[in-house]
Structure 1
Amino acid sequence: MKKTLKILSYLKNKYIVAILVFLFLMFFYDRNDFFVQIQRKKELSSLEKSKTFYQTEIEKTQQELNNLENNPASLEKYARENLFMKRDNEEVFIVDSINPKEKEK
Structure 2
Amino acid sequence: MGKSKIKSLLIKAISNKFSISLLVFFLWLFFFDQHSIWERKEYTNKIEALSEEKKHFLTKIKKDKESIHELKTNRENLEKFAREQYLMKKKNEDIFIIIEKE
Q: TM-score, normalised by structure 2?
A: 0.82
1:8 corresponds to which residue?
Answer: 11
Pair 1:4–1:86, CA change in 2 (3 A): same
Question: In structure 1, what is the Cα distance between the partners aligned to 2:46 and 2:100?
Answer: 42
The letter for the 2-side match of 1:68 is: L
The residue type paired with residue 85 of structure 2 is N
Equivalence map 1:1-105=2 (5 Å)? 1-97=4-100
Q: Which runs of 5+ in 1 are unaligned?
A: 100-105
Q: What is the CA distance between 1:96 and its match in structure 2?
A: 3.8
State the shift of 1:14 in Å. Answer: 3.8
Gaps of 5+ in 2: none
Amino acid at match of 1:4: K
The code of the aligned residue for 2:19 comes to: I
- The residue type paired with residue 26 of structure 1 is L
Q: Alpha-carbon deviation of 1:29? A: 1.6
The 2-side partners of 1:12 and 1:97 are apart by 77
SS in 2 for 1:32: coil
Cα deviation, 1:74-103, whole Å, max 9, x if unaligned, reads 10010111111112332222234467xxxx
TM (normalized to structure 1)?
Answer: 0.80
Distance 2:47 2:101 in 1: 44
Figure out how many residues of one structure are paired with residues of the other and give that number: 99
Moved over 6 A (4+): none
